[in-house]
Amino acid sequence: MTFYERIYEAVQQIPRGRVSTYGQIALLAGNPRAARAVGWALHVNPMPGVIPCHRVVNREGRLAPAFAFGGEGEQRRLLEAEGVEFDDDGLVDLAQYGWPGR
């Protein structure tokens, strides 16, 4: 299995209404120092309706400024539709909505 396949497999485990970070997905995929590679893999997600890349945020709970499937506004809309709330600065509270992993 390739690194990208492991990334996609990990992202598919994130439950509806939860988020994970790029670093956490990198760790789960077997390379904890590859958070940027996770971002690129999600940017070229071959199955956006199946692999929920909108559930991955940065370590501060910030959305992707260049969300590949409709922009930052679309990523927020998708998360809000799942019940994820944002603070006044547009951040997701990782303590409340963060997925603890496997």
pLDDT in tens, 17-76: 999 999 999 999 999 999 999 999 999 999 988 999 999 999 999 998 888 888 779 999
The tally of domains found in the chain comes to 1
Domain containing residue 7 = 3-97
Give catalytic status of residue 14 as yes or no: no
Query: Is 82 within the bounds of a domain?
Result: yes
Reported for 3-7, long-range contacts at CB under 8 A and 24+ positions apart, including other chains, are: 3/29, 3/30, 3/31, 3/34, 3/37, 3/41, 4/41, 6/30, 7/37, 7/38, 7/41, 7/42
Q: Does the structure show a pLDDT above 90 at 95?
A: yes
Tell me which of 19, 38, 53, 57 is the catalytic residue: 53
